Structures are given as C-alpha cells and as structure tokens.
Chain A
C-alpha cells in the first residue's frame, strides 16, 4: 500500500485541478467496481454493488475522500516577471517560506519574500511572490490563473510516513485499498472521490445530492495533540483510526459513531475518539444533503496538517482499512 500512497501524495491536485489524481485513482479501481462516472464538478463516483444476504438489510452507503489538496494560484505577473499569488484553501504563510511549488506542467517555482520592515514581522501572502527563474517578463510562460502545489517527495520513515497532501490522499488510498480487500458486501457502496473540499466541501455537496445515500462515511485526516507543547487534543499517532464525535462543522451521527466503535471492538482493532476544535470535512456537507444522511467520519491522525510535510502512522492507515472492510462486510447497525 505504500507504493499507492507515494503515487497519490506526489500527484498534482490543488482544489479545482484534480484531474491527475482522478486518473490515477481510476487506474487502480478499474475492473473492481460495477459502475464508474465523473460528475459535472469532477467528482469520481464508483459503485460496488451489494450481494443480497438473508437477514441483512441492504443500505446505500457513500464513502467519501477528497482528491484535492491546498495550493496557490497566480494573481498577478509583475513587470520583472515575479508572480504574486493567492491561496487555494488554507495555506499558512509560514509554511511557504523556503518552499518550492510545482505547476501542472511540472515546472518549478521558488517562494520569495519582500524585505520585512522588522525581522520579527510575520510573513503574509501579499508580501510574497513566486520566482520561476525567468530572466525577465518576456521569457515567462506562466500567467494569471495558473495553479501550483507544494513540492515534497514521499518518505517512508518506517512505522511513520511523511509527504505532502496526506490531507486527503491518505483517505483516497484507504478507499482504494478497501475496495481491493473487500470480498463481498450486502450493501450498494459508492466510493466517492470528491473535489474542492479545501475550498468549502463543494464536491461532497453535489456528489451527495447525486448519490442520495442512506449512510455516509468520510475518510479524512485530523490533527493530533501528541507533539511537544501541542494544543491539547486527545488524538495521537499510532493509537488507531480516530472515530469523529464532533468538529467545528458537524456532530457525527451517534448511531454511525457507535457502529464504528463496536465494529472496531469486535475486530480487536485499536481506535480513538476525535473531538476536533477547528476544521471540518466532507461529512458535514453530506449530512445535510437532501432530506439528511446519517454520516460519520473515520479520521487518520496526522501531524503538521496543511504543511508541505504532513506525517501519519502506517498502522493507523492499515487499521482504518480493516475497520472499513469490517463495516462494509456486515449489517449497518445504527
């Protein structure tokens, strides 16, 4: 699964430019699903049909992981060929300093900064620029509207992994791996790889309308409280997949939450509960789609979220796959 994670995290896909990620995912799930389509906003929706089992009520389940990552977009080209930019999603200015970015065509840029008034000044986006090494404006091929993502290769640290865009390529990888390991399911399961989560859960909103599920589970990352002097939070790397109780945008359906926890207990899988003070996920948009959907979230604990070097625990990832396969293999008990 590490090869898959490497491929997905290194792929280019800021919000609104998810084509490369989508094509990579299609390649992995082709032949494993009964139907596959891309909707008007670019969400990839793949259906694995259920096989009827006596005594098990078949449900329509939507699993969602977002393909997009945060990035930057060129907003202005100055007279000397330096590029001003705006952010796509929640990019922290501090993580940009000293970073490189890559455009869709593979070309690279370096982030520079105007001279601060005081050395202690906090860097802001409007005082930064991208330098693509063009000697002057005439030799520049970049233009307003071009989108770039962070450059940072995947590194296997052993038990832990680091890469850009674990948020949420790790969720995408878990959905793919689940599809590969899932033998049969009594439910119609829609594997939905969504677009534009980082700019406002937009793909989840429209794909949930299209799928119209009974139950939904989003796969995404969550922050942790296990680093030095961290903001207090009872989530740690390696303590198992986190079952969301609440975040800033949603309260998980208690039935879905308990179904997940009971399944983890039954399978002897480690798990932890997640209460996230900031941020939210696709499940928030799915939950209030149409007449409402029973929605929950399995979160992968992740350090340094929205930085170019995020970190997850490989055991958490594998246990999330096992938990998901367990959930889909039996009745939905909510």
Chain B
C-alpha cells in the first residue's frame, strides 16, 4: 500500500529525498513532464485535454513530502545525543519514543527517567527538549561518532499497520502530509481538461517554504492544498467544536491562520460532495496553516483552498486516520476537478 510505504519513509523537512523517490517511481509513467526544482520540490505536469484556453487552465495541487522530526546538535562525552525539533513538536510526545537517525537509520531511543526517580515536582513538569537526549547505546563519544554526526536528522521509528473496523482505521507516522501525497498520486491517475500541476513540496513544516517557490514557478490560476490535518474528536466536557472528526469525510478549509479560502472553490467542493453523496466536513475555522498560505499569495494571488484527511495525533510519533476518509477525499477531489474548468473566476467588472 502506497500510504504504508510513504508513511514509513524518512523525510524530515529539508531531507525529503527518500519520499520524493518513492513518489517519483509511482508517478513517472502517469505524467507528461516532471522535474525537481532548486529547493527539492517534485513538480509533475499532466497536460490538459482541452486545447482552448479556459478561464481556469492551470490548476496546482500541492501536498508536502516533509514531516516533523529532530536534528542532532551535539554528541555528549558518554555518547548520548542532544537534539532540537525540526518543525512543531510538543515536548510531551517525545519521551521514551524510538527514533531512526541519519541515512543509515541508526536506531535510538529518547531517554526518560524512571518514575521511581522522579521528584514530586518533576511529575508535574514537562521536560524541556534541550534537556532530553537520544540514547543509541554507544559507550563513548568516539563510538557514537562512528554511527552518527552532528546535523543528522532523526525521524520517528513507527511502523504502519491497519486497525480495521468500520472506519478502516490505520496507524503510522507522518500522515501529515503523506496522506495528502497519496491523494495527489491517486489524482494523477486520471485525465483532466486543464493542465494539472502536481507539486510534492518540501519544508512545509518549517514555514511553507517549498510551496512558495513551487507556486511562483507554476503560476497557477487556482490551487488546492491536500493535507492530513488536526483531528481532535475524542469526547469533550463542553459542547465545543472538534477541529475535524475521524470518519466524517474530507475536511474543507474556510479559514485558517494562513489563508482565507476562496469561497467559489469552497462552494464547488460542497456542491460536488452533496451531488455525489460524498461525506464532508468543514475544518474548524481559525486553526493551523498549510501550503495554501504561501501559494495564494504568490505573484498576483491565486484563489486557493485546502482539502484534508482528518488525522488524529499529528506531529507525534504515531497518527491515525480512516481509509474511508482518504478514499472520500480522492473521490471528492476527482469529481470537483472534473468541474473546475467551468468555474468563472472573473469578478463582476460592471463599469
């Protein structure tokens, strides 16, 4: 399964090569052109069947290849490794997790003090990342240096597996945004009337950096970012909104911190979902940021929105999603893209 392969691949921001290679192998026979740009974005073009210039003739779909992870900053005398996060990671999820370091995938664990030794005060505190260390079982600095070097990346060591059930739940790491990558690969299997640019971007987790330059070079008429997004649907005490709910279908973004979605695209997605009986939900407005934040501000502006696969526990060693949601995201996007070239994106001029 492509999601399994991509989830288990190593691709912390700035080091997306392994993910890119997997995707390239999957899409190279599906597209007319592809290239890797200066920052490492994989940009694939599938030419449109319609030759006549339409109002929407160039559509960009973006999914980011990178995941959050760690970088080795220092090797201690005893051979343990100090590190810093790459991208947003809550320090509380790091303790006692397994990681793989560098291209040789050296296994390590993030050390934790046994509960027996914790002072009462320490039990109520969160350990700071700069005070944690990765233990690779080395007995000295020299031994550690033979295995890893400063600046090596570390990724969570999490195997993918299927939990099943009515929602066809799976667990694994980096569903943010390997889920989006899978959706984008699936969409590339179809033909479209417009020029379809699939951008597998780098460095989203550190500031939407790949998407910014990819959008500049593509200069699309409209764009969709495909994401694995926050899902906090576990029971709450108060009647307040979950960001998204697992199994409730693709999540459509209206507004987050990085973008106010173009309403015409949101309306298209909603109409498409309702006409085709595809479940959908709105992502709770105001939270998170995605590649669409950079893409919609490219050049003279690009009407954009985001469609996401809800994923529990993102930015941690293990996430969970529903394959139903993943399939429905592909279905929704496929149906909506079939209509997108008919959109009239001009605004009333009037005078």
Contact = CB atoms under 8 A, between A and B. Distances in A.
Contacts, number: 89
A83 to B, nearest CB: 10
B140 interface: no
Contacts of A84: 240-241
B347 interface: yes
Nearest to B239: A78
Contacts of B287: 86
Interface string B220-263: 01000000000000000001110000000000001100001001
Interface of B: 221, 239-241, 254-255, 260, 263, 266, 282, 284-287, 296-303, 345-351
A206 B284 contact: no
A36 B349 contact: yes
Contacts of B348: 23
Contact of A37 (B241, B260, B266, B349): B349
Interface string A205-232: 1110110000000000000000000000
A286 to B, nearest CB: 13
A47 interface: no
Chain A interface extent, by class: 35 or more
Given A16-B255, A36-B351, A206-B299, 15 more contacts: A16-B263, A19-B347, A31-B351, A38-B346, A43-B301, A75-B241, A75-B284, A84-B240, A88-B255, A144-B241, A145-B255, A206-B300, A207-B300, A209-B300, A210-B299
Interface in A62-100: 73-76, 78-80, 84, 86-88
Contacts of A23: 348, 350
A41 B301 contact: yes
A15 B300 contact: no
B300 A39 contact: yes
**Nearest 6 pairs between A and B by C-beta?**
A76-B241, A86-B286, A16-B260, A206-B301, A41-B301, A30-B351
Nearest to A210: B300
B255 A205 contact: no
Contacts of B263: 16
Contacts of A40: 221, 300-303, 345
Given A37-B349, A42-B347, A199-B260, A73 B299 contact: no
Contacts of A73: 254-255, 285-286
Interface string A16-38: 10010011001000110000111
B349 to A, nearest CB: 7
A144 B282 CA distance: 7
B282 A145 contact: yes
Contact of B254 (A38, A145, A209): A145
Contacts of B297: 202, 205-206
A145 B283 CA distance: 9
A36 B263 CA distance: 23
A43 B240 CA distance: 35
For B301, B349, B351, the residue with the greatest tally of chain A CB atoms inside 10 Å of its CB is: B301
A33 to B, nearest CB: 9
Contacts of A80: 239
B340 to A, nearest CB: 15
A201 to B, nearest CB: 9
Contacts of B300: 39-41, 206-207, 209-210
A84 B236 CA distance: 15
Contacts of A210: 299-301
A126 B240 contact: yes
A100 B296 CA distance: 32
Interface string A126-139: 10000000000000
Nearest to A114: B238
A196 to B, nearest CB: 6
B284 to A, nearest CB: 5
B81 to A, nearest CB: 38
B296 to A, nearest CB: 7
B351 A144 contact: no
Nearest to B346: A38
Nearest to B281: A144
Nearest to A74: B285
A26 B351 contact: yes
Contacts of B298: 206
A203 B221 CA distance: 16
A15 B259 CA distance: 11
Contacts of B301: 39-41, 43, 203, 206-207, 210
Given A78-B239, A86-B286, A38 B255 contact: no
Contacts of B351: 26, 30-31, 36
